[in-house]
Amino acid sequence: MIGDYMLVNGEQIPIDEVKKLLSMFYNDCKQIAGHFYEMERSPKFRANWPIDTVYVNCNWRNFFQETREFYASLLGNDHVSPYDKHRIFLAIALHDQVEKCSPKFEGVQMFRGTQQFEGDRYENRRITESYGRHSNTFKELLMGGTRYH
């Protein structure tokens, strides 16, 4: 950071603009998390996450890579203005800088077009048969690893 500016990919960006670009990136992560929530999920998932906003606020970091891929597709789209492409590029570069300076997020990254993201009726049925429809309690989560010992 240089005074009221931050150096991003060799370009001086005002701090207010940096905040807007990061906010844009993180809001898009939350939008994709919301889309994930709306896909076909198991009854167990719905029991554990009955409210979409709670799920999104707790899990949006799992969608960093998907957001980056979405942004990359926009960079190659002829219908996106050069101004918007520049902002998208800066948002990706800023996020990279932030990730390098902060502790690595160890969560699972979700990707569109995968069974994990889209949901699967057969897999959802197997989850229900194996684990039931009820929500996990804290005790169940703690004891889950010792259940079969």
10 in a structural domain: no
What rounded mean pLDDT belongs to the chain? 81
What tokens were used for 135?
């929500």
Arithmetic mean of pLDDT, 99-103: 75
56 in a structural domain: yes
User: Could you give the number of structural domains in the chain?
Assistant: 1
Judged against a pLDDT cut of 90, whether residue 80 lies above it is answered with yes
Arithmetic mean of pLDDT, 114-143: 63
5 in a structural domain: no
The enclosing H or E element of 41 equals none
Arithmetic mean of pLDDT, 90-100: 90
36 in a structural domain: yes
Neighbours of 60 (CB within 10 A): 21
93 in a structural domain: yes
79 in a structural domain: yes
Give the ranges where the chain is alpha helix by DSSP (H).
15-38, 43-48, 52-59, 64-75, 82-101, 115-118, 121-131, 138-143
